[in-house]
């Protein structure tokens, strides 16, 4: 394949290991994916359905299927013997059944192939993004209208934030309900407990900032400078400041988290550099002490915003409203599920969750697909979410240690079953 670079040929030809193909936009990743797909198909014993190619959009899936069909036609025209012609003719007949599609179309196929185990009607409808948005919006609007008519504890939330804002929040939460459910589970039930949790978390984060600051080598150098020099006159203002600062920092290092943060805040009162007389110090020691204090003040100023952050009345109000939002969320989620159930429909999120549950809850089914699939190719792997990656790893059966590329790179992830 002289038209391909060495790296592209490696991606097309390498077997037996997992690959991540990383390249910029327009560099030929899809063509590499197609060529790899065709190379695998060229094996006489290769089952067409043992290959899975996952694209990010339906448009990309159609384009890849068309490219594979065109390549098969070229191989068929160029076949020099009967076995080769028969091989590519068989592939040509089966192209429409190829496992080439989005992650959601793949999930729908798995669920329809195992409806009893998934607990689904195999004729279920899949809602696209527009249909999902319309149905979810209608469901939430109906729910909030009912709350406004009937009243109840959630009415305060609607008056405080406004119905449109609450509706937007509910749409976001229900759309990503797997994450939302986990977040709600970690949240206490009462406003007082919520506020206490937030305060504890804030103190813990501030303490981590303080620990990092106190351990920094430059901060330690400054402490060493302050410990090495002293004025001959104890009444000198810089000397009093030096002693006070060292005492505060010593106490902070031995205090519990909340007190440690408070003491570091207080230490800034001992970080003025415009004081002190040269006579009790000498020119060089005084300059070094002032420089050390200035550097410590600069270091503190970099984290000042985080350390001086405190909960206020707005946080208290948010804690008061959160239980109401949680209750509305549960109602919205239930009403949305009922609306989908009436239509025998699943949205994309349902497809992902149901597939994870199917594979996790039925090891025999998971193992069957692992045996069937010899190669899984995922285009735009950097755009997959955690649930989608769990599905891919479950089908592959190798593990989940693949790092995601950073920056503007596009990727093809190729996972290969080890036989």
Residues 6+ apart with CB under 8 A from 99: 49, 51, 52, 53, 106, 109, 373
Q: Which residues of the chain have pLDDT under 50?
A: 1-2, 400-412, 415-419
The crossing angle, in degrees rounded to 10, of helices 163-175 and 129-150 is 130
pLDDT, position 414: 53
Pair type for strands 410-416 and 375-379: antiparallel
pLDDT, position 342: 94
Distance of CA 310 to the CA centre of its chain: 28
∠ CA 364-366-371, rounded to 5°:
95
How far apart are alpha carbons 413 and 18 in whole angstroms?
8
Fold assignment, 195-307:
1.20.120
Tokens of residue 380, six digits: 């735009």
**Structural domain boundaries of the chain?**
6-124+345-416, 129-175+312-342, 195-307
Residue in 242, 244, 226, 239 with CA at minimum distance from that of residue 280: 239
Q: What number does CATH give the domain 6-124+345-416?
A: 3.40.50.300
Distance of CA 208 to the CA centre of its chain: 23
DSSP characters for 202-261? Answer: HHHHHHHHHHHHHHSHHHHHHHHHHHH---S-TT-HHHHHHHHHHHHHHHHHTS-HHHHH
Distance in Å from the first CA to the final CA of the chain: 27
**pLDDT single digits (tens) 51-73:** 888 888 889 889 889 998 998 89
Tokens of residue 68, six digits: 């594979």
Do 401 and 358 form a contact (C-beta atoms < 8 A)?
no
Tokens of residue 374, six digits: 């010899």
How far apart are alpha carbons 262 and 265 in whole angstroms?
5
pLDDT, position 26: 67
Q: What is the 3-state secondary structure (H, E, C) of 180-205?
A: HHHHHHCCCCCHHHHHHHHHHHHHHH
Q: What is the pTM of this model?
A: 0.73
Tokens of residue 412, six digits: 């093809």
Binning the chain into helix, strand and coil, the percentages to the nearest 5 are 70, 5, 25
pLDDT, position 23: 66
How far apart are alpha carbons 222 and 273 in whole angstroms?
14
How far apart are alpha carbons 363 and 360 in whole angstroms?
6
How far apart are alpha carbons 366 and 362 in whole angstroms?
7
How far apart are alpha carbons 150 and 144 in whole angstroms?
10
């Amino acid at each position: 394949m002289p038209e391909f670079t060495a790296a592209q040929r490696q991606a097309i030809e390498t077997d037996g290991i997992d690959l991540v193909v990383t390249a910029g936009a327009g560099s030929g990743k899809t063509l590499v994916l197609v060529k790899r797909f065709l190379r695998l198909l060229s094996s006489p014993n290769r089952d067409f359905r043992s290959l899975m190619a996952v694209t990010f959009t339906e448009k990309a899936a159609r384009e890849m299927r068309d490219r594979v069909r065109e390549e098969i036609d070229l191989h068929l025209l160029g076949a020099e013997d009967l076995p080769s012609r028969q091989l590519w003719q068989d592939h040509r007949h089966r192209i429409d059944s190829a496992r080439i599609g989005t992650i959601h179309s793949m999930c729908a196929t798995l669920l329809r192939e195992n409806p009893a185990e998934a607990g689904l009607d195999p004729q279920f409808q899949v809602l696209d993004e527009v249909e999902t948005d319309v149905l979810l919006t209608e469901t939430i609007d109906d729910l909030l209208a009912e709350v406004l008519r009937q009243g109840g504890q959630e009415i305060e939330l609607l008056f405080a934030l406004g119905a449109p804002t609450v509706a937007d929040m509910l749409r976001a939460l229900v759309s990503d309900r797997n994450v939302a459910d986990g977040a709600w589970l970690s949240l206490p039930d009462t406003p007082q407990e919520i506020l206490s949790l937030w305060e504890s978390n804030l103190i813990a984060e501030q303490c981590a900032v303080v620990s990092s600051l106190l351990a920094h080598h430059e901060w330690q150098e400054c402490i060493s400078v302050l410990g090495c020099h002293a004025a001959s006159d104890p009444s000198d203002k810089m000397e009093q400041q030096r002693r006070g600062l060292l005492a505060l920092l010593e106490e902070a290092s031995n205090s519990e988290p909340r007190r440690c943060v408070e003491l570091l805040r207080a230490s800034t009162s001992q970080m003025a550099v415009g004081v002190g007389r040269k006579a009790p110090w000498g020119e060089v020691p005084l300059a070094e002490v002032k420089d050390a204090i200035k550097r410590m003040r600069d270091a503190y100023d970099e984290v000042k915003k985080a350390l001086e952050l405190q909960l206020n009345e707005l946080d208290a109000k948010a804690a008061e409203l959160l239980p109401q939002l949680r209750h509305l969320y549960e109602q919205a989620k239930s009403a949305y599920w009922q609306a989908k159930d009436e239509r025998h429909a699943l949205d994309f999120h349902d497809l992902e969750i149901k597939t994870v549950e199917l594979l996790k809850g039925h090891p025999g089914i998971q193992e069957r697909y692992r045996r069937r699939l010899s190669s899984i190719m995922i285009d735009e792997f950097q755009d997959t979410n955690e649930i989608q990656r769990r599905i891919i790893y479950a089908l592959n059966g190798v593990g989940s240690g693949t790092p995601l590329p950073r920056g503007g790179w596009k990727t093809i992830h190729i996972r290969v079953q080890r036989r």
